[in-house]
Amino acid sequence: MIPLFLSSAIAAAIALGGSYWLARALRARGRSQPILQRNADNLVAPEHQHKAGTPTMGGVAILAAALLGYLISHVRPGVVFSNQTLVAFGGVMLMAGIGLIDDVKKVKARQNRGLFWKLKGVITLLASFAIAAALVVSTDIDTRVSLTRADFPGWDLGPVGWTIWAGLIIFCTANAVNVTDGLDGLAAGSALFGFIAFTGIAYAGFRTPEVYGSIVNPYDLAVFSAAFGGACVGFLWMNAAPALIFMGDVGALGIGTALAVLALTTDTHLLLPLICGLNVLEIGSVALQMGVFRASGRRRRLFRLSPVHHHFELAGWPETRVIIRFWLIAGLFVATALGVYVADFTEQVGK
């Protein structure tokens, strides 16, 4: 257990100090998030002009802290690097790198459409498939569809089918977290619940190999997840409303990829929509809004504005109320997911 707490504590401390330093350095250089009053459909967005000048790209501090927390924790005897976790970090850095390029372009151009705004979906999709393919080719990952363990429901997709399946999971999760990142602390706070859940799931896999024997080096995955959870805690100190720094696409895409890869490597694919339930609601609200708008001939909308957190802001909720209530919703989703996991775990151990 000590490496779990070590990685989490180190990542939290580095993320706190790193985001504080990054906020000051970026502010001094004018690297701030563009704040627009209207969206692409020319709808008036919630009043966030007071956030103008707030530095962005704070996700760099999250990722650096998670990586350092993970690496330093391995000084403890018995903690070994696994090929799955190393591929996971590579995938996170790849997706975060795409987000970083986009963030830099947005800041330089002083607008919310980055370098890849037309091709970003295609680029992140191809990157997602590349990450999934790397997991299949270079690790012993199980290629069965899973809820709480590899043999339940246990549909074997084979290497090619699993790569497509896993790539779509990574793509959807990364973009769902990116959509959620619209209010101070909302994405980091909700992701924290997910990393806590995956730390417990991976550790349970380590303690009970007779049930979760298909997971490759689950203890290292638990350290990986704990490091990201700690990094989110440290970053939230600076990102809590009113935020002193935003995570940007570099952080949102990186965190989303980490959550997706943890679901894939711990054989909890079908549990991920519950663990990331808030993110599903957020990106689902965008899909519903677009569907209703196009079906009505661009005359009607389901929400005042999407993602749905902006709908409640326009309904008169203060930003902090939206954030806290959405955190509660995220926590309830994660608690439900863990309830499903524990129920199946108890049944398997009792056999």
User: Would you list the domain boundaries of the chain?
Assistant: 2-349
End-to-end Cα, the chain, rounded Å: 27
Instruction: Give me the pLDDT at residue 222, please.
Output: 97
SS3 243: coil
Distance CA 269, CA 168 (A): 11
> DSSP string covering 13-52, please?
HHHHHHHHHHHHHHHHTT-B----SB-TT-PBPP--GGGT
Distance CA 97, CA 119 (A): 15
In the block, residue with structure tokens 């000084």: 75
Instruction: Give me the pLDDT at residue 42, please.
Output: 47
Per-residue pLDDT of the chain (351 residues; tens, 9 = 90+): 899 999 999 999 999 999 999 999 988 887 666 665 555 454 556 666 667 778 999 999 999 999 999 999 999 887 889 999 999 999 999 999 999 998 888 887 766 655 556 688 899 999 999 999 999 999 999 999 999 999 999 999 999 999 999 999 999 999 999 999 989 999 999 999 999 999 999 999 999 999 999 999 999 999 999 999 999 999 999 999 999 999 999 999 999 999 999 999 999 999 999 999 999 999 999 999 999 999 999 889 999 999 999 999 999 999 999 999 999 999 999 999 999 999 999 999 876
Q: Is-above-0.75 flag for pTM?
A: yes
- As given in the structure block, the two tokens for residue 62 are 């999250």
CB 295 within 8 A of CB 197: no
Rg from Cα positions in the chain: 20
| β-sheet bridge partners, residue 146 | 153
